[in-house]
Amino acid sequence: MPSKLKRALLLLAVAAMLPASLYGCTGGTDPSQSPTASAQSGESSDHGNSVTVGIAQDLDSLDPHRAVAAGSTEVLFNIFEGLVKASSDGGVREAVASDYQVSEDGRTYTFTLREGVTFHNGEPVTVEDVVYTLERCAGSENDGTPLITAFSNVTGIEATDDSHVVITLAEPSLEFIYSLTAGIIPAGSGDTIAQNPVGTGPFRFVSYTPQDSLVMEKNEAYWGDPAYLDQVTFRIITNSDTLVMSLQSGSLDMAIHVPNTQASQVEGQFTVVEDTMKLVQALYLNNAVEPFDDVRVRQALCYAIDVQQIIDFVCDGAGVPVGSTIYPAFTQYYMEELTQAYPYDVDKAKQLLADAGYPDGFAMDIIVPGNYAQHVQTGEVIAEQLKAVGITANIVQVEWETWVSQVYQGRDYQATVCGVAASDMTAREMLIRYVSDYRNNFINFNDEEYDQAVNEAITSLDGEEQEALYKRAETILSEQAASVWLQDLCDLTVMDPALEGLTLYRTYVLDMSTIRYAG
Nearest to 86 by CA among 518, 515, 503: 503
Per-residue pLDDT, 467: 95
Nearest to 87 by CA among 224, 186, 211, 242: 224
Q: Contact, 287 vs 381, CB < 8 A?
A: no
Mean of the pLDDT values across residues 296-303? 98
Q: Which of 113-127, 240-254, 502-516 has the highest mean pLDDT?
A: 113-127
pLDDT higher than threshold 50 for residue 13: no
Q: Contact, 92 vs 407, CB < 8 A?
A: no
Q: Contact, 63 vs 198, CB < 8 A?
A: no
Mean of the pLDDT values across residues 294-303? 98
**CA-CA-CA-CA torsion for 13, 17, 21, 25, nearest 10 degrees?**
130
Q: Contact, 494 vs 272, CB < 8 A?
A: yes
Helix (H) or strand (E) holding 241: helix 240-249
For the ranges 54-58, 200-204, 258-262, the lowest mean pLDDT is seen at 258-262
pLDDT higher than threshold 60 for residue 491: yes
SS3 252: coil
pLDDT higher than threshold 50 for residue 186: yes
pLDDT higher than threshold 60 for residue 31: no
Q: Could you give the CA distance from residue 424 to residue 433 in angstroms, rounded to a whole number?
A: 14
CA 399 to chain centre: 20
Q: Could you give the CA distance from residue 301 to residue 285 in angstroms, rounded to a whole number?
A: 10
* pLDDT above 70 coverage of the chain, percent: 91
Q: Could you give the CA distance from residue 112 to residue 159 in angstroms, rounded to a whole number?
A: 10
Q: Give the DSSP per-residue string, 331-386.
A: TTT--GGGGGSS---HHHHHHHHHHTT-TT--EEEEEEETT-HHHHHHHHHHHHHH
Q: Contact, 130 vs 162, CB < 8 A?
A: no
Q: Could you give the CA distance from residue 470 to residue 466 in angstroms, rounded to a whole number?
A: 6
Per-residue pLDDT, 517: 96
Comparison of pLDDT for 13 and 260, the residue scoring more: 260
Q: Contact, 304 vs 346, CB < 8 A?
A: yes
Mean of the pLDDT values across residues 18-23? 28
Q: Is residue 47 very low, low, confident or very high in pLDDT (cuts 50, 70, 90)?
A: low
Comparison of pLDDT for 336 and 240, the residue scoring more: 336
Per-residue pLDDT, 40: 35
Q: Could you give the CA distance from residue 386 to residue 21 in angstroms, rounded to a whole number?
A: 32
Per-residue pLDDT, 262: 85
Mean of the pLDDT values across residues 237-247? 92
**pTM value?**
0.81
Nearest to 216 by CA among 79, 83, 348: 79
Q: Could you give the CA distance from residue 133 to residue 169 in angstroms, rounded to a whole number?
A: 16
Number of H helices, E strands in the chain: 13, 21
**In Å, what is the CA distance from 511 to each residue of 73, 74, 210, 273, 488?**
11, 8, 22, 14, 20
User: Amino acid letter at 171?
Assistant: E
Comparison of pLDDT for 312 and 25, the residue scoring more: 312
Nearest to 226 by CA among 483, 17, 519, 516: 516
Name residues whose C-beta falls within 8 Å of residue 475's C-beta, 6 or more positions apart in sequence. 324, 335, 338
Residue 441: count of CB within 10 angstroms of its CB? 17
Per-residue pLDDT, 8: 46
Q: Contact, 98 vs 113, CB < 8 A?
A: yes
User: Amino acid letter at 391?
Assistant: I
Predicted confidence (pLDDT) per residue in 79-136, tens digit: 999 999 999 988 899 999 999 999 999 999 999 999 999 999 999 999 999 999 999 9
Instruction: Identify the burial level of 269 via C-beta atoms within 10 angstroms of its C-beta, where 0-12 means exposed, 13-18 middle and 19 or more buried.
Output: middle
Domains annotated on the chain, with CATH: 80-193 (3.90.76.10), 279-488 (3.10.105.10)
Per-residue pLDDT, 18: 33
Nearest-10 crossing angle of helices 346-355, 295-304: 160
CA atoms within 13 A on the CB side of 152: 12
Q: Could you give the CA distance from residue 229 to residue 42 in angstroms, rounded to a whole number?
A: 8
Angle at 407 between CA 410 and CA 369, to 5 degrees: 150
**In Å, what is the CA distance from 392 to each residue of 204, 236, 238, 361?**
49, 34, 28, 8
Predicted confidence (pLDDT) per residue in 370-422, tens digit: 988 899 999 999 999 999 999 999 999 999 889 999 999 999 999 999 999 87
CA 335 to chain centre: 19
Per-residue pLDDT, 267: 85
Q: Could you give the CA distance from residue 384 to residue 467 in angstroms, rounded to a whole number?
A: 38
Nearest to 299 by CA among 357, 348, 363: 348
User: Amino acid letter at 343?
Assistant: P
Main-chain phi, psi angles of 48, to 5 degrees: 80, -170
Residue 32: count of CB within 10 angstroms of its CB? 13
pLDDT higher than threshold 60 for residue 203: yes
Q: Is residue 260 very low, low, confident or very high in pLDDT (cuts 50, 70, 90)?
A: confident
User: Amino acid letter at 441?
Assistant: N
Per-residue pLDDT, 173: 92
Comparison of pLDDT for 212 and 261, the residue scoring more: 212
SS3 sequence, 474-502?
A: HHHHHHCCCEEEEEECEEEEEECCCEECC
